[in-house]
């Protein structure tokens, strides 16, 4: 007999919020500001910036750098890849250009609200784990009305843990008052989300909107979007 679903725990960026869409907007802002980036392809710029972003997160999480300093450094490192050394002032101009356009490009992934409403209507507790910093992640939740669904998100910068650590999954289960067997975890990143959930003993649903590789189909269920919502609900509820 299938275990009744008690908790559905979500990642935030690129799972509920379309970070990739917003990031592309932000990078276009940088391309307008810095001529060295203007002719670089979207795919190349996106890949290099994401590598820089992820490599800088550990210093912020550990308190070795502030969010503001880390943001400036990312712009400096990106420009450095294309042969330009920029000042702190120019880097701050880059941060402001990126963030202005990033915020304009923020949007929910289609079907998100219907999915969350459907889960709550069936008595499922919602939880969240995000490898981000507060207040940045909380502001995203507030801006898009997700704070009503996730009143107690587990934010890496607050708890000083990050995915794929089992400890951060265990904490989210504790907050949701759920065992691993009664939960499902939903995310878009193979190592941080899917392997992390699997190693914590939680059933995993892999949101793969861009045709990425599926390294091990035995440890997760893959979906390509939240619409149609009814089908996604059945998958999360464990009915398919």
- Active site residue ranges: 11, 13
Q: Describe the strand order of the beta sheet including 7-10 as a list of residue ranges.
A: 154-155, 125-130, 7-10, 183-187, 203-207, 221-223
């Amino acid at each position: 007999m299938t275990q009744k679903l008690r908790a559905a725990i979500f990642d935030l960026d690129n799972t509920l919020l379309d970070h990739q869409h917003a990031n592309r907007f932000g990078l276009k802002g940088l391309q307008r500001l810095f001529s060295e980036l203007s002719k670089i392809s979207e795919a190349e710029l996106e890949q290099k910036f994401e590598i820089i972003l992820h490599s800088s997160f550990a210093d912020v999480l550990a308190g070795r750098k502030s969010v503001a300093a880390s943001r400036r450094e990312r712009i400096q490192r990106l420009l450095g890849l294309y042969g330009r050394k920029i000042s702190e002032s120019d880097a701050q101009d880059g941060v402001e250009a990126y963030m202005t356009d990033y915020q304009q490009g923020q949007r929910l992934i289609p079907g998100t609200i219907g999915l969350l409403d459907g889960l709550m209507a069936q008595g499922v507790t919602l939880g969240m784990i995000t490898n981000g910093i507060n207040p940045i992640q909380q502001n995203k939740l507030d801006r898009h009305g997700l704070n009503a669904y996730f009143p107690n998100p587990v934010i890496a910068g607050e708890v000083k843990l990050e995915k794929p650590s089992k400890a951060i999954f265990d904490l989210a289960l504790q907050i949701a008052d759920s065992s691993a067997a009664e939960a499902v975890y939903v995310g878009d990143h193979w190592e941080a989300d899917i392997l992390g959930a699997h190693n914590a003993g939680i059933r995993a649903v892999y949101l793969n909107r861009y045709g990425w590789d599926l390294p091990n189909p035995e440890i997760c269920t893959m979906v390509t979007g939240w619409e149609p919502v009814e089908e996604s609900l059945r998958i999360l509820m464990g009915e398919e």
